[in-house]
Amino acid sequence: MKILVVDDDPRLRELVSITLERSGFSVVTARDGQMALTCATREAPALIVLDVGLPEMDGLEVCRRVRARSDVPILFLTARDDEIDRILGLELGADDYVTKPFSPRELVARIKAILKRSKSVASQVVLRHGPMELDMAGHLVRMDGEKISLTATELSILRRLMQTPEAIVSRPQLVDAIYGAGSQVADRTLDSHLRNLRRKLSEQGWAGAIETVHGIGLRMGAWPV
């Protein structure tokens, strides 16, 4: 699989590239935001490792522009330990983030987890609930025939809920289904993905598509009559 690594620090680009190549990935690199956008289109990577603190066009803007035309998984590298920045990145459509300085082993593990989720999402059958159809093989969600663009993580959340639409799924069960059993994921991270997913479904006319059962978990809502 090809990974696009975007960072303005040549030493970090080299470190990440060597680490990923040793783990069996093919790597292309970009040193700034404009070059990243060009490579994302030309190289069609399986995942983008994207530094937030790029000069001129920062990583958040790159993410925004990539998301306007693609649902390729994005993992942020950030030197900022500010929760607002991390949550903003997730709300723009990033799948995960790693804070600098980071362990190369952790970075590879996070990348493999994201790609595993993407592969799992793509291998499932078509699920339906109300007017919504989730075509996992095509990585597509449609409502009344209109396509909704979702990230791999958002698709994983929706898939888990649509598999048992009448049942309540606890937050720990949802995290396990998306990230793997025993994963430690901050509540704010899951909340950001849920908020994005709900917003996208609401924009298509189904504001109550995902219900919160306070103190228990979440489930699919009923289509309003």
Residue 159 confidence class, pLDDT cut points 50, 70, 90: confident
Alpha-carbon distances, residue 112 vs 107, 118, 179 (angstroms): 9, 10, 11
The pTM of this model reads 0.60
Tell me, what's the pLDDT at 138?
67
As a CATH number, domain 123-220 is 1.10.10.10
Domain positions in the chain are 2-119, 123-220
CATH of range 2-119; options 3.40.50.2300, 3.30.1330.120, 3.50.50.60, 3.40.50.450: 3.40.50.2300
pLDDT of residue 89 exceeding 90, the answer is: no
The 10 Å Cβ neighbour count of residue 18 is 12
Residues 6 or more apart from 63 whose CB is under 8 A from it?
50, 74, 76, 89, 92, 93, 94
Tell me, what's the pLDDT at 188?
82
Residue 151 confidence class, pLDDT cut points 50, 70, 90: confident
Q: What 3-state DSSP class applies to 149?
A: coil
Q: Which helix (H) or strand (E) holds 190?
A: helix 187-203
Residue 38 confidence class, pLDDT cut points 50, 70, 90: very high
Q: Do domains 2-119 and 123-220 have the same CATH topology?
A: no
Q: How far apart are CA 223 and CA 160, in angstroms?
A: 18
